[in-house]
Amino acid sequence: MASERSRKADRIRHVMETEGDSVERNARGFNEGRYESVARLEDYDAYKDRARAIKEDAIERLPELIEQVREAVEENGGTVYVADDAADANRYVRELARERAAETVVKSKSMTTEEIDLNEHLEAEGCDVWETDLGEFVLQVADEAPSHLVAPAIHQSREEIATLFNEYFEPEAELETAEELTAFAREYLGERIEDADIGVTGANFVTADTGTMALVTSEGNARKTVAVPDTHVAVAGVEKIVPTFEDLQPFVELIARSGTGQDITSYVSLFSPPVSTPPVDFDDDEPIADDPADRDFHLVLLDNGRMDMRDDDQLRETLYCIRCSACANSCANFQSVGGHVFGGETYSGGIATGWEAGVHGQESADEFNDLCTGCSRCVNQCPVKIDIPWINTVVRDRRNRGAEDGELDFLVEGLTPDEEPAGLDLQKRFFGNFSTLAKLGSATAPVSNWVADTLPSRALMERVIGVDRRRDLPRFERETFVEWFRNRDEPRPVDADYHAVVYPDLYTNYIRTDRGKATVRTLEALGVAVEVPEVASSGRAPLSQGMIATAGDHARDVVADLGPYLEAGYDVVAIEPSDLAMFRGEYERLLETDRYEALSERSYEVFEYVYGLLENGADPASLRDADDGRGVGSALAYHSHCQQRTLELEAYTTDVLERLGYDVLTSDVECCGMAGSFGYKSEYYELSVDVGDRLREQFEAPDAADRTVVASGTSCLEQLDGLLARRPRHPISLVAPEESE
C-alpha cells in the first residue's frame, strides 16, 4: 500500500510539473468566465430548473423517445442504429466505411467516439482518420488522450504545441504564434476535409420530435464535416435525447456559459440530416449546386451501459450531464492536475466517476475517484443540478466493498467499530473512524499528542496508513467541549426567547474547544438558552471515505441524541460547516424523510444564527466589536468554507463582522485545498499544498498581507495555519465576549 501511495504521489507530482500550469491557467479562466457570464443571464436559476426537469423527463421516458427519434430521422431520410456497446457501434461504423470504400474520414470533436475508441477501429479498416477540432488535432498528433471534456488539449501550452507541430510536420517556416499554428492547422485539415469520404460528428443533443441534432461548437469544423462529404455518421449516447425541439433553448442558454464562460459559442448547428447543403466534390469543376438527396445519414445511438445506469437509482443522475465541464473547471483539485490525473479512460473531472463507472465499469474510476474530496463546490455550478459528490461517494463505497483484504489491520482494530466490510482499505478505515480516534486521543492527552508527534510515530503512521509526516497533526484537548460545558457553573437565562443546542462536532469537542466555548458565550450574550449535550459525530468522516453504512449509523445516532431537544423546541447551531452540510444535504439520503426534515429545518450555521438573532432585535452591543479586538485589528481576510459557500451561508459571517465594524476582504479561490482527511494523505499532500498556494497568494497580496486571517472550517484553518506565517482564527473568537472569570 505504501509503495502504491508513493507511486501515486510521484504521478501527481509529475503531472503538476508538466501540465499543471497550463491546466490551471485555462480551467481558472473558464471558471471565472462562467461566474461573469451566468451573472449576466436573467433567470439563471429558472433555466437550471428547466434544464433539470427536461433531463429528468427525458431519461424517465427514454425507451419511448428512442423510438420517436428513429421515426423522425427515418422520415427525414436517415437511418438510426441503436448500438448495445462499443463493439456493436464500431462494427456498424466500420461496415459503413467498408461499403463506401472510405479512404479518408474527418471527425469533429466527440467524447462519445473517444469512449468507444472509434478512430482505432476505422484505422483498422484502412481509413485515414483526422480530427478536425484543433484541440483534438493536437492530441492526435501528440498521441495523447483528452484531458478535459470541452477543451481536450487544455494541458498543452502554445509553446508545447509549436514544438510538437514543428517536429512532426517540419513546416517550411517554423510555427510560433497561435495565429500561425491555427492557420497551419486550418490549411492542413482543410485539405483532409476536401478529400473526406465520410464525416463523423457527435451530438450535444438530439430532439425526439424533429430528429434534430444540436452541435455546440466555435471553429466551424463540425459544419464542414457535415457539409462536405456525402456521408455523415453521428455517434451519440442515448442520454443525449430531449423530447422536443424547443427543449434545446435552455441548454443553448446554459451550455457555453457553464463550460467556457462564453454567453454562446460561435455556432449552434441544428441539423435534421440529411441536410439541404449540396455535398462538395473538390475534384470536380461543375457548380456545386446539386441534389442533396444524394446524401446519406446514420445516427448511431450508443447504449454502452447507459440503460443500466438509468436503472441504477444512484448513478441515474449522471445521465443528466450535458458535458459542459463546469464541475471540472470549478474543482480546486482539477485546476491543479487536470483530467490526466482527475479522470479515467475517457471522461474527466467531477462527473467522470459516474461516467466511467457506468460505461467502463467501476474499477475504471479507481485511479481518480479519491480526488473528489466532497467539498461540494461543483454542486451549484452544474447547470442540471447533479449531486456530483454523492455519485462519487457511492462509487467509492461500492469500490470499498470490492477492495482486497488489507494487512496490518491490527493497527486500527479496536478503533474500528464500523459495519463496513473487513477488506476496506486501512487508510480509509483510519480516517473514516476519526470519531473513535478523537475520543482516545482526548482521553490520553497530552501524552497522545506527544506520542503522535514523535519521529518514529510519524514514520509508522506514514508507512502504514499514509498520514503524511509533513502535515501537523491535530492536538487533542484533555477536557472536551461537552465536559467543559457540563463542569461550568453559569446560570441559564430565565425566560429566554431562544433555546439552542450547540452541536459538539468532533473537532470542536476534542480539538478546537475554544471555538465551542466562544460560540456558547456569544449565544448567551444574545439571550439564548444554550445546551451542549453529548451528541454522536455527524458521519462526515466515514462518508468521505465512502463508508455509507457507517455514516448512516452516525446519522441515526445524531437524530436520536438531538430528538428530545428538537421536540422541546430547541434549534441546533453547528459550528463546523461540513457537519451542517451533512444535516442539510446528505442526511436526506441517509435518513427517513421526517427525521431528516425535523433536523435540517432547525439547523443553523453559527453566524447564520447570530445574524438571525440580530435581525430579530438582539443587541449587538453585547458582542465584541472591531474596536475591542485584543490587538486583532479591524481589517480581516476571510476564507469561507467550501460547503458553507455551496449552502450560500458565507454572507452571514461577513454581514455580522461588518456590523461589528470589521473591514472584511474575502477569498475567491474555490477551495483551501485541504478538505479534511484529504490533505493528510501522503499521496495527496503535495496536491493539497499546490491548491492551497492559490489561497496563500491571495492572502499574501498587498491588500491582504496585513489583515488578520479568519476561516470558518476546521480543515481550512489547518491548511491556512500551514501556509501562512499569521495564525488564522475562527471568526466566532473575534466576536465572542471575554470569558468571565
Is residue 344 close enough to count as binding another protein by CB under 8 A?
Answer: no
Contact track, another protein, 80-99, x by CB under 8 A? --------------------
Characterise 264 by phi-psi region: left (phi > 0), alpha (psi -120 to 50), beta (else): beta
- Tally of helices (H runs) and strands (E runs) in the chain: 36, 17
Residues of span 137-166 touching another protein by CB under 8 A: 137-138, 151, 153, 156-159, 161
Is residue 18 close enough to count as binding another protein by CB under 8 A?
Answer: no
Q: For the CB of residue 91, give the shortest distance to another protein in the complex, in Å.
A: 29
Q: Which is nearer to another protein, 159 or 497 (CB)?
A: 159
Q: Measuring CA to CA, which residue among 196, 208, 201 is closest to residue 236? A: 201
Determine the distance from the C-alpha atom of residue 260 to the mean position of all C-alpha atoms in its chain, rounded to a whole number. Answer: 16
Residues of span 109-128 touching another protein by CB under 8 A: none
Helical packing angle, 388-401 and 548-567, nearest 10°: 130
Provide the grid cell at 420: 463496513
Considering only 175-183, 344-352, 358-366, 529-537, which stretch makes contact with another protein by CB under 8 A? 175-183
- DSSP structural state of residue 348: B
**613-641 core/surface letters (b: 16 or more CB in 10 A; e: else):** bbeeebebeebbbbeebeebebebbbbbb
Q: Which is nearer to another protein, 146 or 474 (CB)?
A: 146
Q: Which is nearer to another protein, 276 or 454 (CB)?
A: 276
Considering only 275-283, 515-523, 548-556, 596-604, which stretch makes contact with another protein by CB under 8 A? 275-283
How far is the C-alpha of 370 from the C-alpha of 342, rounded, in Å? 9
- How many residues sit in the footprint of another protein (CB under 8 A)? 73
Q: Determine phi and psi for 91, rounding to 5 degrees.
A: -60, -45
Q: Which is nearer to another protein, 219 or 571 (CB)?
A: 219
Provide the grid cell at 579: 457537519
Contact track, another protein, 456-495, x by CB under 8 A? ----------------------------------------
Q: Which is nearer to another protein, 146 or 577 (CB)?
A: 146
Percent composition of the chain: helix, strand, coil (DSSP 3-state, to 5): 55, 10, 35
Q: Which is nearer to another protein, 88 or 245 (CB)?
A: 245
Q: For the CB of residue 511, give the shortest distance to another protein in the complex, in Å.
A: 46
Q: For the CB of residue 150, give the shortest distance to another protein in the complex, in Å.
A: 10
Asked if 33 and 173 touch (Cβ cutoff 8 Å), the reply is no
Q: Which is nearer to another protein, 10 or 75 (CB)?
A: 75
* 620: preceding bond cis by omega (within 30 degrees): no
Among 274, 339, 343, 585, binds another protein (CB under 8 A): 274
Q: Which is nearer to another protein, 263 or 497 (CB)?
A: 263
Strand partners, 181: none
Residues of span 525-544 touching another protein by CB under 8 A: none
Q: Which is nearer to another protein, 47 or 476 (CB)?
A: 47
Cell 443553448, residue located? 252
How far is the C-alpha of 497 from the C-alpha of 637, rounded, in Å? 34
Q: For the CB of residue 515, give the shortest distance to another protein in the complex, in Å.
A: 45
Q: For the CB of residue 88, give the shortest distance to another protein in the complex, in Å.
A: 28
How far is the C-alpha of 476 from the C-alpha of 249, rounded, in Å? 55
Among 51, 86, 127, 134, binds another protein (CB under 8 A): 134
Residues of span 279-298 touching another protein by CB under 8 A: 280-292
H-run or E-run covering 501: strand 498-503
Among 19, 114, 133, 670, binds another protein (CB under 8 A): 133
How far is the C-alpha of 233 from the C-alpha of 236, rounded, in Å? 10
How far is the C-alpha of 149 from the C-alpha of 115, rounded, in Å? 12
Considering only 268-276, 338-346, 547-555, 721-729, which stretch makes contact with another protein by CB under 8 A? 268-276
What is the maximum span of the chain, computed from C-alpha positions, in angstroms? 99
Considering only 273-281, 304-312, 501-509, 645-653, which stretch makes contact with another protein by CB under 8 A? 273-281
Considering only 220-228, 564-572, 706-714, 718-726, which stretch makes contact with another protein by CB under 8 A? 220-228
Provide the grid cell at 276: 439541404
Q: For the CB of residue 279, give the shortest distance to another protein in the complex, in Å.
A: 10
Q: Which is nearer to another protein, 284 or 405 (CB)?
A: 284
Contact track, another protein, 406-445, x by CB under 8 A? ----------------------------------------
DSSP string, 619-640: -GGGS--GGGSTT--SEEEEE-
How far is the C-alpha of 310 from the C-alpha of 188, rounded, in Å? 42
Q: Which is nearer to another protein, 81 or 188 (CB)?
A: 188
Cβ-Cβ contacts under 8 Å for 579 (sequence gap 6 or more): 503, 505, 538, 540
Asked if 522 and 619 touch (Cβ cutoff 8 Å), the reply is no
Among 266, 417, 459, 479, binds another protein (CB under 8 A): 266
Q: Where would I find the beta strands (DSSP E) of 53-210?
A: 79-83, 104-107, 128-131, 198-201, 205-207
Q: Which is nearer to another protein, 270 or 496 (CB)?
A: 270
Q: Which is nearer to another protein, 130 or 498 (CB)?
A: 130
How far is the C-alpha of 258 from the C-alpha of 35, rounded, in Å? 8
Considering only 119-127, 173-181, 407-415, 673-681, which stretch makes contact with another protein by CB under 8 A? 173-181
With helix as H, strand as E and coil as C, how does 389-432 read?
HHHHHHHHHHHHHCCCCCCCHHHCCCCCCCCCCCCCCHHHHHHH
Q: For the CB of residue 93, give the shortest distance to another protein in the complex, in Å.
A: 22
Q: Which is nearer to another protein, 40 or 630 (CB)?
A: 40
* 274: preceding bond cis by omega (within 30 degrees): yes
Is residue 265 close enough to count as binding another protein by CB under 8 A?
Answer: yes
Considering only 92-100, 277-285, 304-312, 515-523, which stretch makes contact with another protein by CB under 8 A? 277-285
- DSSP structural state of residue 582: I
Residues of span 225-264 touching another protein by CB under 8 A: 227, 244-246, 248-249, 252-253, 260, 263-264
Residues of span 185-214 touching another protein by CB under 8 A: 185-186, 189-190, 193-194, 209-210, 212
Cell 502504514, residue located? 464
Q: Which is nearer to another protein, 248 or 445 (CB)?
A: 248
Considering only 265-273, 310-318, 405-413, 544-552, which stretch makes contact with another protein by CB under 8 A? 265-273
Q: For the CB of residue 270, give the shortest distance to another protein in the complex, in Å.
A: 5
Q: Where would I find the beta strands (DSSP E) of 34-125?
A: 79-83, 104-107
Q: For the CB of residue 32, give the shortest distance to another protein in the complex, in Å.
A: 14
Beta strand pairing call for 213-217 and 128-131: unpaired
SS3 215: strand
Among 236, 268, 382, 511, binds another protein (CB under 8 A): 268
Cell 451533512, residue located? 582
How far is the C-alpha of 676 from the C-alpha of 690, rounded, in Å? 16
How far is the C-alpha of 518 from the C-alpha of 506, rounded, in Å? 16
Among 1, 28, 76, 469, binds another protein (CB under 8 A): 76
Among 53, 142, 145, 270, binds another protein (CB under 8 A): 270
Q: Which is nearer to another protein, 223 or 584 (CB)?
A: 223
Provide the grid cell at 709: 486571517
Q: For the CB of residue 581, give the shortest distance to another protein in the complex, in Å.
A: 35
Q: Which is nearer to another protein, 283 or 313 (CB)?
A: 283
* CB atoms inside a 10 Å sphere around CB 696: 18
